[in-house]
Chains A and B, each alone.
Chain A
C-alpha cells in the first residue's frame, strides 16, 4: 500500500499532517475525543457520532480489526477518525477484517500520525471545535477556511437523519459470546416501542435479554401511532446532536408521558427532560469514554459507565416533578432522573455499554420491573 497523505485543519488555525488510513475524500465536523481504550468499532457504528470527527485518545487503534458482531448499527457514522497509530494488521480470532479496509468501505476518512493528546487538550481547553480532514487538499490556508465553514452539530436535528425510516421488530438477544451480567429473563415477553433517534443494537439486545419484544419506530413517529402498537412501555433511544432540535420526537414524548412507562437513554433522556420542563445545555467538551463514575443516589453506589454526550440536563433547573437519580462524580452533572409520580426514568449514560463496562445493565431489568409492578 502506498502511503497516502492526509491533513487535518481546525477552525482555530491548527493544521497537522499525517497519513490517510481510511477512505479518500474530505470531511468536516465537530471534533470530539473518546477516551475508551477498546471499542473503536462500536464507536464508529454508533449513530450518536453522526456529524462528528472522532479523536481516539488511546494511541493504538485497529489492533484487533473489526468483527461484524460488534457493530452497533448497519453503517459508519462519524465523518472522520483521528488516531495516533493505525495497526497494519488485525489480530483477533473474532476479526472479520481490518479497520482501514472497513473505514474505506464505509467511507470514513481517517488520519494517523497525529498528536491526539495535543488535540484532546485543545478540545478540553477550547471546547467544541470544528475541523476538516482531507486526503485531497493539503494547503493550510484553504483547509482552515474550510474548517471555519464546517457545519456544527448545534441546532441540527441529526436524530431524524440517522433514524430508521420504517418501523421494524427486533427479537435478537445477546449472542452466546456476550459477557452478560444478568441471566436472560425467562418470564413472559412484554411489548415495548423504542423510538429510534439513533439507536444502538446493544440497547435492543439488552431489551430482548430482559424480556421485551421491541418494535423500533422512526424518530418522528406520532404518539398515536406508537400507542397503536399497544406497547406496555416506551423506550427513548440515544442519538446524535442537539436534543432541542428533535421537535417531532419531543412532541411525541409529550403526548406519551403520564400514559405509559418510559425509559430514556442519552438523547432520549435529554428529550424526556425537555418534555418534563427541564432544560439542556451544551457542555464544553462533553463526556465520551468508558470510565465515568456515576453515583446512584438511591443506593449511593458508584458504577463505572460508558458515556457519549455533548449536551446535558441542567441540574439546577429540574422542575419539582423530577428527581435527580444519578450524578457524575467527576463534574457532578446530571446522569439520571426519575419522575416523582409517573413511571418515567432516564439516564444520560449508556447502560448497554458497547463499548464500556456493564455495571449498569441492570437498568433494563429495572425497566421491566417498572412495567410489571
Chain B
C-alpha cells in the first residue's frame, strides 16, 4: 500500500530528557522520523522536553512543543493541533507509555486521532506481561516459567513455584528499571516491593532465572502486507542476567549454527504476527540454553529501541526512517534501500564485518553504589567498534570507550604487569558481572587460567573467550618477536593501536606510526553497505581495516572534518552531539563536504545522512590522523565534541592537522591556570583566589594562602569529575590522594569557594571582528553546584541590568583578547556586587542547544560557519537576542538507578540530561521544566521541610507562600521553630533517632508529598541522606537547595493560576522577530 493520503498531520512524541535506559538513540530515531514524514508531505507536530536534541530544532518539525511529555500536556497539544495521527513508536518507552495513557483518557477518541505504528491494543499485548505470555503460548513459543504479581502475597505464591534465584521485572518500565535477581527471601521481598511501586500498573513479573544462558536479540520489521524481515541479530557476550543495555554485545550473532539462527528468525516472525505489529520495527529478545539449545522468548519491544539504533548503525539499514514510512502506509518493497539506491528495503542486510558494542558506566560518579551488573540497566552510554574481525572490533570499541584504555591489554598505564594476581579476586571479577569483566578475563588468561576455567566462571561463550585468549597470546609475540614490518602488520590486523604496540616494544606511538609509514603499513577504509559488497554502495559510510583494498573515494571538494564526542557519559552527552551535527550541516551549507568521525552508535552524528562522509571510528589521535591522511580536510573542528576531541587538539596540531577556529594556543591560555590569571589581570577582571598544586604539600600551602573553603579539581576534566568543595585540611589530604589518582598527568586546581554566590553562564560567539553574546543564564542553585546540575533561567530573572551588562562586557573583552573564533562559554559568580570569572571555555558548551532553542538562533551552526571563515555580519548575527519569555533549563538525575548514592547537589556533575520549560511567566516556566524533569509537583498535601540553620530565616517566606497555596507543612524541630515563630501553621516531626514516628516513617507511609531538605553539616548528614533515600523509594521529590526551593515554590504558585497553555517553539520564536533588541 502506498502513502496514506487520508492523513495530513502527525503528532510524534519524543523521549524527553536523557536518562539511563533512554538516551540519544531516540533523538536519532525521532529526528529520522520527523524528517522522513515531513519529506512525505505531512505536517509534523512534535512534543519533546529535551532541548539538547536535533529533533527539537525548529526546522525539524512544523510545530515543536518543548513541553513536558505528560498525558495532560499531550492532550492539550492534541486539542490545540488536532493531528490526524499519533506516532508513538519512535520515542522510546516514554512515548509508548504516554500514548497509552492519552488513549486511556479517551483523548484520542474524542479528537479522532489514529495511533499509527502500533495500535494501543498491540502495545498493550506486547507490554502487559500476562497478555504477552498468553500470546507466546498461543503461537507455540516457550517462555521462562513465571508468574505475575500485583501484591506481595501474589509474589510469595509465585516464589513457591519458581524458586530462587529468580528474576523480577516491573511492568511498563524502561531499561528493566526497578528489577533485579534475588538470591534470598529478604532480597526477594525488597525487590518486589520496589518493583510494585515503580510499575505504572503495580505489576511485577517473577520468572525463572536464566542466568548463564546465551542471550540474543533480533531486530525485526513488518509491514501492513505481512512482509517480515530481520534487520540484524545481536549476540550478548555477557550471558543472561545482565541487562542487554549493560552487556557487551556483538552483531551479527557469532555462535549460532544456521539451524539455530533460523529458529530465532522463525520465532521473531511468529512474535511479530502474534502481537500484531503491522507497520514498524521491533526488538525480540531470546535466551538459549548453551547445553541444549532450548530457546525461550524473553520479551519484545513494539517500537524502535536502543538496539535498533545499534542495528541501524551496525548494518547501514535505517530502521527508524523505514519504520516511519511503514507507519504511513508504505510496504517494505515500496521503499528503496538508501545505500544501494537500486534494491528495495524489503530484504535482510548481510554484513561482512563484526560489530562490538561496549557500554559506558559512571559508577565513579556515585560513590557507594554497587557496580554489579544486573537486569537493571546502569550504563550511561555506549561505544561501537567496527572491524573485519571480532578482535579488531573489540579493540576499537575498548579504545573508543574513553576510559583510558588503548585496546585489550598492553596499556601504557599499566606500571607493572602484575602476573601474581590474587586468584580469588580474579574469580570474583569473573563470576560477578561488572564493568571491568573484559579486563579481568585478560588478567585471568595472563595469570594462567584456562579457557575452560574462565568459561566456567563467566559463562561467556568459549568463542569470545578464545578470541580474547588469542589476543593475550599475541601480547607475548609482540614483546618477544623481533620488531619487523610483518609483526607490526599482524598486530594492526589484530586491532592493536600504536600506543599498545609502542608499549609492548618500548617505543613511542609516534615511532610506531613513523615505522608504519616507512613500510607502507596503513589502514584501508571499507564500506558499510547492508549487502556485503553484492551491490554497489552509494553511501560513504566507512570503517578502517588492515586489508588489501581501500574503498575510500577521494573527492576533490574541500572538506571539513568534525570530531565527535564518543560515548555518552555524565558531563559529555547529547549536547555535544547536537553541536557536531550542526557543524556538519554548517559545512554543507557553505559549500564544503562534511566528514564526521565518531564511535557512538546512539547519535544523530553517526547517521550516514548527517554528513557527506562518515567514519565510524574511535576518536583517538591515531585513528583521527589516519582519517586526516585519507581525506585531507581543509579544516578540523575539535571544539564541538566535548572534551574527547579537545584533548586531542594539541597533538593533532603538532602533527600538522589543520585545526580551525580558536587556536590551540588560545585554548591553552584559557585552560592553563597561570596563563589564565595573567590574562584576567590584563583585562582587569576578577577571579576567586586560587592556586595550583602538584602535591599534597603544595595543596596545603595554597589552602593556607587563600583560606577555606576551597574548590578542588583536577585540570582538564569535564563534568566536574572529582570536583569537591573542601572545608578543612583532613578532607584536602584525602582528596589529594584521590584526585592525583583520578588524573595523574595533570595538577590539581584549587580555588577559593565563593559561598552563596550566584553563578552565571554566558555563551558567546566571535569571528575575530565582533563578539555576540548568545545568551546569559542565571543559575538557580548557588555557585558550587556543578553548572550542568544547576537549573538556570534565560534571560536572568533576578540580576540587575547593570550587572548583566558588566558580565556581557567582560565576556566580549575576553573573547577578543583570546582571539576566539567560534563559540565560547564563560562561567561567572556574583557575590554581592562583585563579579568573578570562574572559567572560560573557548569551545561549544553544554548550554549551546538550550540557548539556541531559547533565542531561535542556531549558534552551533553559526559557530561552525565562523570557524570555516564566515563573518557574523554576513551570517546575520550581529546583535544579542533577549527573548521576552523565560526559558528554564532543569537537570535530570539518575539517583533512582543508584539508590545508595546521595542525591545532594555538588560540584561533581551527576545529571544525565536536561529539560526545558518556556513561558512568559517565570513560575510557569519553572513548573513546566520541573514537571518535564519528573519532579513530583503535588497540587496539595503535606510538604516536609528541614533546612540547615543558615537557611532557616529565608525558608519562612516560602513556608508562608506554601500555606497560602493550601499545603500543609511538616518540619523538624529547628525548622519548625523558625516557621511557627513567624505565626505559620506547621506540624512538628521527629528526626531519625529522636522518637517515632520520625520523618522517615512519614515518608515511607506515603504521608509526604514533597520534601524540601537542604543539607546540614557533617553531623546530621546521615539523617539527611536517610531522608533522601526514603524519598527516592517513595517516589517523592526532594529539593536540596534553598534556591531550588524558591524556584519550586514559584512553580507551585504558578500552577494555582489555572491551566497552562501549550505553546510551540515556532510560536515563541515569532515573538523574537518583533522584540529583538539591538545591542
Chain A interface (Cβ < 8 Å from any Cβ of B): 16, 33, 35-39, 41-42, 57-60, 63-64, 67, 69-70, 84-85, 87-89, 91-94, 114-118, 120-121, 124, 177-179, 181, 289-293, 295, 300-302, 304, 329-331, 353-358
Contacts and interface: CB of A to CB of B under 8 A. Distances in A.
Interface in B976-1030: none
A18 B39 CA distance: 49
A98 B1078 CA distance: 76
Contacts of A292: 347
Contacts of A331: 343
Contact residue range for chain B?
Answer: 35 or more
B524 to A, nearest CB: 8
B336 to A, nearest CB: 11
A114 B547 CA distance: 8
B331 to A, nearest CB: 8
Contact of B532 (A58, A92, A179, A304): A58
A304 B255 CA distance: 22
Nearest to B354: A60
A329 B265 CA distance: 21
A48 B215 CA distance: 34
A355 B344 CA distance: 22
Counting chain B CB atoms within 10 Å of each CB, which of A93, A120, A181, A295 scores highest? A93
Contact of B293 (A93, A295, A354, A357): A93
Nearest to B527: A117
Interface stretch (B45-53, B305-313, B462-470, B636-644): B462-470
Nearest to B534: A35
Contacts of A302: 225, 227, 332-333, 346
Contacts of A59: 352-354, 388-389
B350 interface: yes
Contacts of A16: 548
B461 A57 contact: no
B163 interface: no
Contact of A89 (B252, B263, B463): B463
A178 B352 contact: no
B466 A60 contact: no
Interface of B: 225-227, 229-230, 252-263, 265-266, 290-293, 332-333, 342-344, 346-354, 388-390, 461-463, 466, 470, 526, 531-536, 547-549, 551
Contacts of A39: 257-258
Given A16-B548, A91-B466, A57 B533 contact: yes
A70 B257 contact: yes
B262 A37 contact: no
5 contacts: A36-B258, A89-B462, A120-B532, A357-B348, A358-B262
B350 A63 contact: no
Contacts of B290: 93
Given A91-B463, A124-B534, A293 B333 contact: yes
A36 B252 CA distance: 11
A84 B344 CA distance: 28
A124 B461 CA distance: 35
Nearest to A120: B533
Contacts of B229: 304
A33 B253 CA distance: 20
A177 B259 contact: yes
Say what secondary structure dominates the interface of chain B.
loop
Contacts of B344: 293, 329-330
A57 B347 contact: no
B389 A330 contact: no
Nearest to A354: B258
Contacts of B257: 38-39, 41, 64, 67, 70, 92, 94
A340 to B, nearest CB: 26
B416 to A, nearest CB: 30
A88 B466 contact: yes
B533 A124 contact: yes
Contacts of B332: 302
B389 A70 contact: no
Contacts of A36: 258, 350
Contacts of B390: 60
Contacts of A124: 533-536
B259 A117 contact: no
A64 B255 contact: yes
Contacts of B536: 124
B506 to A, nearest CB: 26
A356 B258 CA distance: 7
A103 to B, nearest CB: 17
Contact of A301 (B226, B291, B347): B226
A120 B551 CA distance: 13
Given A117-B388, A291-B531, 11 more contacts: A37-B252, A57-B534, A58-B351, A63-B255, A64-B256, A91-B462, A93-B292, A179-B262, A301-B227, A355-B262, A356-B262
A331 B342 CA distance: 8
Contacts of A179: 259, 262-263, 266
B349 A38 contact: no
A289 B354 CA distance: 18
Contact of B254 (A60, A116, A178, A354): A60
Given A16-B548, A60-B354, A357-B265, A91 B255 contact: yes
Counting chain B CB atoms within 10 Å of each CB, which of A39, A301, A355, A357 scores highest? A357
4 A-B pairs with least C-beta separation? A39-B258, A355-B258, A115-B548, A91-B463
Contacts of B346: 293, 302, 329
Counting chain A CB atoms within 10 Å of each CB, which of B463, B470, B549 scores highest? B463
B520 to A, nearest CB: 15
B258 A117 contact: no
A117 B350 contact: no
A177 B227 CA distance: 26
A264 B549 CA distance: 40
B549 A63 contact: no
B259 A120 contact: no
Contacts of A35: 350, 352, 531-532, 534
B225 A63 contact: no
Contacts of A121: 533, 549, 551
Nearest to A300: B225
B532 A117 contact: yes
B547 A115 contact: yes
Contacts of A94: 257, 259-260, 293
Contacts of B260: 94
A368 B312 CA distance: 41
Nearest to B463: A91
Contacts of A87: 463, 466
B388 A84 contact: yes
A59 B351 CA distance: 9
Contact of A291 (B261, B347, B462): B347
A283 to B, nearest CB: 12
Contacts of B254: 60, 63
Contacts of B461: 91
Nearest to B337: A330
Nearest to A95: B257
Nearest to B233: A37
B262 A357 contact: yes
Contacts of B256: 38, 64, 92
B333 A70 contact: no
A355 B354 CA distance: 20
Nearest to B263: A179
Nearest to A67: B257
A293 B333 CA distance: 9
Nearest to A292: B347
Nearest to A89: B466
B287 to A, nearest CB: 14
A139 to B, nearest CB: 19
B347 A93 contact: no
A72 B787 CA distance: 65
Nearest to A58: B352
A113 B1048 CA distance: 64
Nearest to B388: A59
A231 to B, nearest CB: 30
A91 B291 CA distance: 11
